[in-house]
Amino acid sequence: MRAYYFDNIPGDQRLPHDSSRPVSTDTLNAIGLLHWQIPLDGNEAKIDQVAAERGYKNRDTISVTKEGLGELYETKIKGFFEEHMHEDEEIRYILEGSGFFDVREHPTDAWIRIHVLEGDLLVLPAGIYHRFTLDTENKIKALRLFKDEPKWVPHNRSAATDSNSYRLDYLNSIGVGA
């Protein structure tokens, strides 16, 4: 995993958009992100350990490819790239391929781009504004973990999400309050 500030230059969202300004692990931790690098071979015990420690009870696998999604591919990619939050943590363990998670730094509101690769396990806290896109490989397969029943409900950024209780809890958890 590599994290840096997004350059905000218009163009293909799947390009790196690297501003050459790296983001430290301390900065990621300060906004509530967690990350592990777990090799794909023999990973199950470590994944199970993280799942047990964080209370994840369910899991499934998601594959995002042109071949797998067919005509829905471009629509799905555009939807994933809409700025949104979830009322649950978003947990992804990358099994194949790669992509970018962009998260909002608070209080600056700057985008931080996180390039995830095979073996990366990333946890985005509930209430953080973020978006996702593939990189130019155009494919990713990830294990998704859930605390309860699998669900993935995006709440696009708006005045309503700014006052959503999960958003407010997130802001309090990183020490900025509402």
**Alpha carbon distance 136, 161 (integer Å):** 31
Report CA Rg, the chain: 16
**Alpha carbon distance 119, 113 (integer Å):** 18
Fill in the DSSP letter of residue 151: -
**Alpha carbon distance 168, 177 (integer Å):** 7
- Asked whether residue 90 is marked as a ligand-binding residue, the answer is yes
- Asked whether residue 130 is marked as a ligand-binding residue, the answer is yes
- Asked whether residue 155 is marked as a ligand-binding residue, the answer is no
- Asked whether residue 115 is marked as a ligand-binding residue, the answer is no
Question: Binding site, residues?
Answer: 84, 86, 90, 130
What residues form the annotated binding site for Ni(2+)?
Answer: 84, 86, 90, 130
Binding residues for Fe(2+): 84, 86, 90, 130
